[in-house]
Amino acid sequence: MEKRAHVIGLGRSGIAAAKLLQQAGWAVVLSDRNAQPLMQEIIPALVTAGITVGLDHSFSVEKDPAELVVVSPGVPWDIPALMAARAQGVEVIGEAELAWRHLRDRPWVGITGTNGKTTVTALTAAIFQAAGLSAPACGNIGEAIGELALAPTPPDWVIAELSSYQIEAASTLAPDIGLWTTFTPDHLARHKTLDNYFQIKAKLLHQSKRAVLNGDDPTLRTQAAAQFPNAYWTSTQGPDVIAPLTPLAYIEAGWVKVAGTSIVAVAALNMVGEHNQQNLLMAVAAAHLAGLAPSAIAQGVKTFPGVPHRLEAVGTWQGTAYINDSKATNYDAAVVGLQAVPAPAILIAGGEAKAGDDSAWLGEIQAKAVSVLLIGNAAETFAQRLTAIGYESYEIVETMEQAVRRSAELAPQLGAQTILLSPACASFDQYPNFEVRGDHFRRLCQTLLT
């Protein structure tokens, strides 16, 4: 009898998982609870390939008999349907675990953390590629991991950004090198407690052959050190700060050093902010453990353009740097954006406001911004909040075009070093997503700069 598999979620990872299983001889059903999922245009090709597709469909073990269920990252691990399937002996795994089973003969770098993992993944992939290796970024960034397993030629290395959702559903995934960037409270609606969230992240590092952790993160220093006695650590403050832990990559006298050897100047990285210096250390540590030559590591860092929409350097005009931080869709992310750039700064903020505590963000504005240009639906509300704290150097400009034009006028008058788009808002009032918003800002700036 043909083996039956059910894949939940018609997105990139679910589609790749369905194709992998179908190629391996399984009878595959791919379902999505939405009647019109975003990638529905691919359905005819899937059906032609022999994959059954069910839309507006919620999986249940009674009506969907299968020996294997594969879930996409957005599907909670503990929903009743999956718990019932496991209780009846059905194997339930995530798409990352499935990809691992098809690519476990390849070496992996697995990157996790609350913040920083996207930048570390992109930079690590760039360094490996500068060394001449086939090492695409995948997982939560770039390609779905399963897409690499479908390629005619497998990669030399798998450089995978892995969320807590993916790790939770991956029982055997064991990277050669595991990186843990940061740890702060997040995803508690899904994971229930902070300890659950921590232990899910820790699981990836426990299953990795070699582990690298951020020695500047206070929670990792205090809570993870005892769990990982053989781990390597990184620090932007030099090797002595990490002691008695084992330092691997650190910054000293403006250089990234690995075990005492200077690899690349910190200034070679085209990304602002001390948090990105820590991201740099994590990527360099992975490259060193993978045996890459220092010259290749340095070249990869020097040519890395940065991650789009995450403190992305757009260009400089009349001595003022333009920075695209459109990914800052909440107050916490916008605080990091302001902290990362040189003052005095002109801030462009606004959009579709989210609930949250804005006190730290308002404090950073008072400390670093000489002007705030407000756009979108949140403009009036933000103006009221700024007035309430005694900050009057703001203007409601409504649109991105007006914000960029006005920032160029104000910068020489105010001596601004930075024009920063860091909205502290979702984009949906004016744009489909933060990427489109950031692309628009970039185009407007590049028109101005040429």
Q: Which two tokens stand for residue 371?
A: 């002007």
pLDDT of residue 186: 53
**Residue 1: pLDDT over 70:** no
Confidence of residue 187 (pLDDT cuts 50, 70, 90): low
Of the residues 239, 268, 303, the one at which a domain ends: 303
Let me know whether 296 and 320 are in one domain: no
Predicted local confidence at residue 185, as pLDDT: 58
Are the C-beta atoms of residues 59 and 81 closer than 8 Å to each other? yes
φ, ψ of residue 247 to 5 degrees: the values are -75, 140
How high is the pLDDT of residue 191? Answer: 58
Is the pLDDT reported for residue 11 higher than 80?
A: yes
Alpha carbons 78 and 225: distance in angstroms, whole number? 29
Q: What is the pLDDT of residues 382-399, one digit of tens each?
A: 999 999 999 999 999 999
Share of the chain above pLDDT 70, in %: 98
Q: Which secondary structure element, helix H or strand E, spans residue 69, and what is its range? A: strand 68-71
| Local confidence band at 426 (pLDDT 50, 70, 90 cut-offs) | confident
Considering only CA atoms, which of 368, 443, 367, 448 is closest in space to residue 407?
Answer: 448
Q: What is the pLDDT of residue 450?
A: 65
Tokens 């090198």 belong to residue: 177
Q: What is the mean pLDDT of residues 203-215?
A: 97
Give residue 43's domain range.
4-89
Q: Are residues 230 and 256 in the same domain?
A: yes
Same domain membership, residue 339 and residue 377: yes
State pLDDT tens for residues 56-79: 999 999 999 999 999 988 788 889
Tell whether 203 and 102 lie within a shared domain. yes
Band of pLDDT at residue 17, cut at 50, 70 and 90? very high
Same domain, 112 and 250: yes
Clarify whether residues 246 and 286 are in a common domain: yes
Which pLDDT does position 21 carry in this prediction? Answer: 97
Same domain, 75 and 119: no
CATH code, domain carrying 244: 3.40.1190.10
Same domain, 366 and 445: yes
Q: pLDDT tens across 108-132, in order?
A: 999 999 878 888 999 999 999 999 9
Does the pLDDT value for residue 164 go beyond 90? Answer: no
pLDDT of residue 210: 98
> Residue 428, CB half-sphere, CA atoms under 13 Å: how many?
4
Is the same domain home to 39 and 120? no
Total number of domains constituting the chain: 3
Quick one: pLDDT band at residue 345, thresholds 50, 70, 90?
very high
Q: Judge if 286 and 429 occupy the same domain.
A: no
Indicate yes or no: pTM above 0.85.
no
